[in-house]
Amino acid sequence: MYYSRFLVPVVAFFSTTLAVPHPANLPRQSRPDNHTLNRERADAVKAAFTYAWDGYYKYAFPNDELHPITNSFSNSRNGWGASAVDAFSTALVMQIQPIVTEILNYIPTIDFDHTSSQVSLFETTIRYLGGMLSGYDFLTGPLANLASNATAVPLILKQAQRLADNLAYAFDTPTGIPSNNLNFPNGTDGSTTNGIATIGTLVLEWTHLSDLTGNQKYAELSQKGESYLLSPKPASSEPWPGLIGTNVDINTGLFQDAEGGWVGGDDSFYEYLIKMYVYDSTKYASYRDRWILAADSSIAHLASHPSTRPDLTFLAMFNGQERLFVSEHLACFDGGSFLLGGLVLKEQKYIDFGLALVNGCHDTYVSTLTGIGPEVFRWVENGTSPTDADNPPPSADQAAFYKTAGFYITNGNYILRPEVIESFYYAFRATGDQIYRDWAWNAFVAINSTCAVGSGFAELQNVNAPNGGGYNDFQDSFLFAEVLKYSYLIHAPDNVWQVEHSGVNEWVFNTEAHPFKVNGPPI
């Protein structure tokens, strides 16, 4: 069992938290660990990974992603083999030598100098750069025994550096805030703004590249862009301390709005504030302080309880100080972020709040016909005016669903996203409570039984229709990087790369779930 260092004993922890205002959402009693059961579950997830890899390798490799129904492929991520690079760190933690070897031998052959399509600085950083740096950390560290080709290992870091060198002109703007949409070798799409997620989700990868290569250029470029997010201007773009707008002018550094939340477009900016502190607590205390401001403001101003289910907690979005009762599958990483913050800052209030958020996102899974949560959902609070155009009540056909579920669905797609299972993983690592393993297992079984089709996993059109309402023939690379990694790690034996291993974090996961070895003393 992996109790957090300051939550022992777990029973006492639960009895304390039962005093908080939303008790029904907190986990039930801890149950004894069953090693046989956990091994069987970990093996079943590994089997699903191997099945999806085999389909991709047969019909799509070295293209970006598999179309599992038609056994064809596409290149939505520049044709550099996104699924292979994204699968790398998962194959490593699962210790599947043949797949590790295939990817290890492939990476040195990628031509990162050329592509026929627009390059996203953000997506390329989190998937390709993240995947390669993580693989390099493992193969030069605790999984060196899987380095079947010693010549290829240093070439992984070389490829990461080559890719970053090709991307670096993105930062060549009047402020140093990068352009996101690039046309290689030196053009952009001409946008004059960029968003806080795409600006603020580079620092971990680019700083780690500097620490591995000894060339500080990459860290400096990414941290210059980030500096405008840490001190946002004008003041009106920060409606509550730490909570900031979304779009920033890359020529002036000024925010263009005061609209945001923990949702897509903003999400991993907040995620990386605390993760930079985990990565090196001796250097990034200022990031930690911004996370604390955002976390405290979120508890004070964004925490919201649906009118029909006061036991549930979701985070609202905001526009200025107006709150919008809408959230997303993407935003369900929030529970995990509060839990990680609570662990490393030793603050029980963040653990408690994180578990409440995890419980709310669990509800979005168990309330639907498929047992999988929707892409976008809404709710209203007691006292929300029925004529509030920004916070409309559910339509008549969703009224009954809203009454029992506490949310209603405005986009029912499921595109193989990981965030709910990701937060279950943090909840388990923080509390040691088997209930979170059961929740993750149930989610995995639902995904495996509803999305598996043809040679892999496909997206669903409606999580609240029988069989998911039909498929979209697309298997995004993050199925490999994230869904199957978190589904596996929650049941897997303890190891140094696991969150809160022996009471500290020796590794930190990038937003694509690629684990990096931390640079500072583990906290």
Ligand X SMILES: *[C@@H]1O[C@H](CO)[C@@H](O)[C@H](O)[C@H]1NC(C)=O
Residue 408 pairs with which residues in a beta bridge? 378
16, 29, 34, 321: residue in contact with ligand X (rule CB under 6 A)? 34
Residue 482 has φ and ψ, to the nearest 5°, of -115, -60
d(CA 27, CA 13): 11
265, 310, 371, 469: residue in contact with ligand X (rule CB under 6 A)? 310
Determine whether the annotation assigns residue 511 to a binding site: yes
Is 305 an interacting residue with respect to ligand X (CB under 6 A)? yes
Fill in the DSSP letter of residue 255.
B
For the bound state, the minimum distance from the C-beta of residue 396 to ligand X, rounded and expressed in Å, comes to 20
Residue 130 near residue 84 (C-beta atoms within 8 A)? no
Binding footprint of ligand X, residue count (CB under 6 A): 21
The H or E element spanning position 133 is helix 130-139
Name the residues annotated as catalytic: 123, 267, 375, 419
Is 105 an interacting residue with respect to ligand X (CB under 6 A)? yes
For the bound state, the minimum distance from the C-beta of residue 456 to ligand X, rounded and expressed in Å, comes to 10
For the bound state, the minimum distance from the C-beta of residue 278 to ligand X, rounded and expressed in Å, comes to 32
2, 20, 43, 44: residue in contact with ligand X (rule CB under 6 A)? 44
Is 241 an interacting residue with respect to ligand X (CB under 6 A)? no
Rounded to 10 deg, the angle between the 35-59 and 434-451 helix axes is 30
Q: Which of residues 186-225 bind ligand X (CB under 6 A)?
A: 186
37, 146, 230, 299: residue in contact with ligand X (rule CB under 6 A)? 37
Residue 255 pairs with which residues in a beta bridge? 248
Nearer to ligand X, 105 or 348 (CB): 105
d(CA 125, CA 206): 8
- Cα–Cα distances (Å) from 210 to 160, 222, 424, in that order, read 11, 11, 32
**Residues 6 or more apart in contact with residue 295 via CB below 8 angstroms:** 242, 338, 341, 350, 353
Residue 6 near residue 503 (C-beta atoms within 8 A)? no
Q: Which of residues 127-186 bind ligand X (CB under 6 A)?
A: 149, 151-152, 155, 185-186
Is 452 an interacting residue with respect to ligand X (CB under 6 A)? yes
For the bound state, the minimum distance from the C-beta of residue 169 to ligand X, rounded and expressed in Å, comes to 8
For the bound state, the minimum distance from the C-beta of residue 208 to ligand X, rounded and expressed in Å, comes to 22
End-to-end CA distance of the chain: 19
By CB neighbour count within 10 A (0-12 exposed, 13-18 middle, 19+ buried), where does 389 fall?
Answer: exposed
Nearer to ligand X, 30 or 511 (CB): 30
Binding site for Ca(2+), by residue number, is 511
Q: List, as residue ranges, the binding site.
A: 511
Footprint of ligand X (CB under 6 A): 34, 36-37, 40, 44, 48, 105, 108, 149, 151-152, 155, 185-186, 305, 307, 310, 382, 445, 448, 452
